[in-house]
Structure 1
């Protein structure tokens, strides 16, 4: 996103009670791109890249499409969108002047294809349009073929200035230094240059609409610009054409190859059928050959996997969500790999795969390798990294890099989450993976350094990254990590020490108990307990479930009672059922973030899905100990799971889960957000397993009675 685009958005939506001006939001529209490139398709058909975190290339900053008939251009406005079948092909239907233009978008590697088909109202092909006296568009057998007008603003290396164009035979190359973005079409291009906004226009109170005048009166302006205005003719018995863009960092000597790749990309996918078949082939990598839509009670699994694959870099790690705030105007940015989010996603996917056989073995291995390659020498992981390279990304919780182990500007739960995944990976996937074993042993040293003598982690930043203290959530992640290590196929003395430390954390959690409220506190802040309800404390459920599996462990009756009390109180206290169309769980009591004029905290999809997962874990744990409280959590799990399910109030187009929603149902922040998708999938498979087990137990009981 360039400053030009940000300022235009600022002018367009400032004063809105739901939109934050200057953002590049993706709460509407759909994404294509399951490899190195992530392309957003707006309801009006405009495409733009969110690709930098995944590929290191910026690509398209903005665009606009329309249709030209006899010199009259109709720019597309809002269209109807959906994914085609179980693919990442985005279909956008435009209705203009009584005719229908269907747009298909598909991203293959670094190549993006935008295909247009002209249809009649009955869905058949239409040949020859003519302008009517009333300005409507009609048919005529002797008129020229209509053309698609494409205004494309590239931003090689994020630049809007010091950019140039090369007009090759049938292709346009936009370049700054190393990044080269190339454009071609299956039916050829007619190109003119477009200059970006002038200083006066940037300072004007109204946004600038592109395209505009071709230049500023200087002959070089059209060639020293990131914006291309291209005319592409629709041809054939079914009038259609494909526009292709390719992002590349090719050397000068590789230019002919890059130009040939974009030309052949457009030519090879010049028909709707060829593009859709390419989309089907690409989508088969998402899972097994069979459909995932309604498999054994995990309806919506494909949508979750597609969302997670969209966010996934070739190396296996994921961005938290598409980057909607690159200038850090309202947040610290989202287009990075956080080791907390990513490791939690990895272990939830591993759990779901083991239950439902989703065919994600390559994902698990790639995640493990990425973590081993990005681990610091002290056994910890930094705040966040660029997924395309694993290199350190901008952040505010790198205290260990800056000042060593004594800094509170460190998120110890991130290291704990990775350690839990690596320990589980060794135990259930590949016990011979020496690189994983070495990394896990180093991770234990990193955790040990953050564990105080009283059994609680030291003062650090929290999961929500908005305060410091000694958090229940952090302690829960340590308990789970140590318990998972104690069960991993590693040296016996290390397992024994991990079990002892798990017991120490288990006992120390009593320090955080608030008897007046029947909950575990959000944090210990100095000597004071911060007794606000906090959804991140749902981590206690899976942590105790893991601890209960230790031979030397076992959750006692008093702790079971406290866990039941804590989770019931927290779920009920954070539950939000406003007058609007949505329902779910807030983040923590009094959460003020991005609420605008809303009095109450917003509903978050990750907390709602986390609550469902915790309820399923607790139902299983309590049932194993014959606790009557299990029934409540089964019912609560079903309710919360429904809210984030395929037909849930928090779901959006494409099956996406946005990070947050306002009470009126308006989605906000990163969309889709990876963490709740993985949580939902793991919970849905666990719930289906639980239902099968309950049915089996019921059947056995009936047999005994008979």
Structure 2
């Protein structure tokens, strides 16, 4: 997104009740991709690239498509339009109803290429005399190679145009060539200062010779042949791909993708296939599609498409957070084991990148670029800086440990995995206070500091999983060659005992016992946090629902063959049931349009004019997952409350499942909703999709996905 676009949107949306001006929203439309490049096809048909964090290439920042009949252009974003995914794939079908004809588009992104195939249908309603050979597909496209909207040039060919700055070279081509091709300068300073937005593209200005060659903006006419016009764009690096190879690549795409069936078959290769017998198949397929779309080739994922790259109303979303990403990896690992989804490559790529991105002190940084793991802009990198550890999110390290320990147990074999776990264990110990709870740090929502119940839960789960699956781990796994970047070089691993699994079990028990310090009997729940000043903040917070899965891990440790640790006792079960029910009941919100859970009591973020907390899909899905985890834990203790918890899990799951009020017709889960049902913020957000997938798999595995309602007195 360029600043010109942000200012244009500001002019169009300032004062809107539920839109934050200056953003590029993805709450409508669908994405195609799954192999690097990520292209958004809005509900009106506009194309935009969102894949910079995944590939390092900016590509297409604005576009419009139109139908030209005898020289008269109808822009397709101004006519009635319907859109859908074709099956489980990332192939998008968009149908535009113009006065002259129906234009049916199929869009697919494959690697660094995006292809749009448009077909004309005059129908039997008075347009039978339409001559397709007198029609063309008009494409207005603005590219921003290397993220620039200045110092850009164009090279013209018979059937293609190349837009370049320095390293990134972007190509636009047509299978049928171009009957007209022209450039256009970006919005002028005077237009930017005008109160009214500028409609683009403009008419050709014969007095501005620079327009033809010195910008990233292109207007091209691609003629229809036999009622079909196909255009494609390709993002390349000048070192990796010559212009001759780039043009040949597009020609190959046009030749191979010469039908809707061919497009569908190619798109099907970008996402895992889902067996027909899979429970809640529509939901599972949608979740895997979203997580594929948000993934870089490295295996790391962006949290969501970056709708606010200038950080005007948020801190950005197009990065990898190790909390979100590791929890997604853990959810995928569990779901794969239960549903047989064939995701071995996903698990290995995630583990490899977690090993590669670990800091010498055993922790992980705040945010990284998913394409290569390089440090990304962030505000919680205290353990890299020379400041205090408060600006550090310790739960991220806990989440990564839990995943790596489980992946190790499942046979995921990557280099230096054991060394990474040993260093991470030492680093986790460094951030555990003498009282058995984590140090003062930032929370999961990244908006306050303290000693949080959620962070404590991640430590309990990390220690428990490491104790369960840490057989054979010892400090000798660390690289002792003196390499400054080797795992453990900056942590006190010399203080670790020989029996690391036993040590992790002891630490898990310390954390388990220390949770009593956060119990609030008056509310029947665990506190959100102890503030940096030592006060108890007893607000309800959906992140504390993570205590359910953490206790399941600890309980499994007590039931393991080693007998290390101890199973969850009856008093703690009572407290867990009380806590989960208090949080789910206390954070529940229902309007005429939506039903779900808010993030926490007093959450004021992105309220706009609503004046109250918004419903979050993460929180609602987390509620469903916590109830499911607790149901399975209770069932393991022969506790009759398990049935009630399972029912609550199904009820919450329904809100975020297809057909639920928090699941958009696109199949996407946006981060948030206003009370009137308007979706907001990052869409789709990967975290709730992974939680939904894991909850379906867990309930199905426990034969709890469907059941008779529980009687009130049960």
Alignment of 1:333-412 (within 5 A): 333-403=316-386, 406-412=388-394
Change (3 A) 1:586 1:148: same
Compute the displacement of 1:218 (Å).
Answer: 2.7
Q: Over the residues paired in the alignment, what is the CA RMSD in angstroms?
A: 1.7
Contact 2:175–2:231 (CA under 8 A) maintained in structure 1? yes
Alignment of 1:54-453 (within 5 A): 54-77=54-77, 78-97=80-99, 99-121=101-123, 138-140=127-129, 144-189=133-178, 190-215=180-205, 217-236=207-226, 239-251=227-239, 254-280=242-268, 282-283=269-270, 285-287=271-273, 290-291=275-276, 295-403=278-386, 406-430=388-412, 433-453=414-434
Residue by residue over 1:567-619, the C-alpha shift from the partner in whole angstroms, topping out at 9 and shown as x without a partner, is 111100000112x2210000000111111122321110011000100001101
SS of equivalent residue, structure 2 residue 384: helix
> Residue 677 of structure 1 is aligned with which of 689, 693, 702?
689
Shifted more, 567-576 versus 90-99: the winner is 90-99
Compute the displacement of 1:298 (Å).
Answer: 4.7
SS of equivalent residue, structure 1 residue 549: helix
Counterparts of 1:112 and 1:39, CA distance in 2: 8
> Residue 548 of structure 1 is aligned with which of 555, 561, 564?
555
Compute the displacement of 1:296 (Å).
Answer: 3.2
Contact 1:33–1:108 (CA under 8 A) maintained in structure 2? yes
Counterparts of 1:549 and 1:501, CA distance in 2: 15
Structure 1 runs of 4+ aligned residues shifted over 6 Å read 692-695
Contact 1:297–1:685 (CA under 8 A) maintained in structure 2? no
In the alignment, what sits opposite 2:463? 482
Contact 2:132–2:225 (CA under 8 A) maintained in structure 1? no
> Residue 534 of structure 2 is aligned with which of 527, 545, 550?
527
SS of equivalent residue, structure 2 residue 402: helix
Counterparts of 1:296 and 1:48, CA distance in 2: 34
In the alignment, what sits opposite 2:581? 568
Change (3 A) 1:27 1:297: closer
> Residue 507 of structure 1 is aligned with which of 493, 513, 531?
513
Q: How many residues align?
A: 672
In the alignment, what sits opposite 1:618? 630
Contact 1:240–1:271 (CA under 8 A) maintained in structure 2? no
SS of equivalent residue, structure 1 residue 676: helix
SS of equivalent residue, structure 1 residue 399: coil
Q: TM-score, normalised by structure 2?
A: 0.92
In the alignment, what sits opposite 1:631? 643
Residue by residue over 1:187-241, the C-alpha shift from the partner in whole angstroms, topping out at 9 and shown as x without a partner, is 00231111111000011111111110334723222200110000000101xx001
> Residue 661 of structure 1 is aligned with which of 673, 676, 679?
673
In the alignment, what sits opposite 2:488? none
Contact 1:195–1:215 (CA under 8 A) maintained in structure 2? no
Counterparts of 1:443 and 1:252, CA distance in 2: 37
Residue by residue over 1:371-413, the C-alpha shift from the partner in whole angstroms, topping out at 9 and shown as x without a partner, is 0011111111000100011100000000111126x32000000
In the alignment, what sits opposite 2:712? none
- Mind listing any 5+ residue stretches in structure 2 that lack a counterpart? 474-497, 558-562, 708-714
Residue by residue over 1:77-120, the C-alpha shift from the partner in whole angstroms, topping out at 9 and shown as x without a partner, is 25100001121000100000052100110000000001100013
Compute the displacement of 1:137 (Å).
Answer: 8.2
Counterparts of 1:545 and 1:416, CA distance in 2: 16
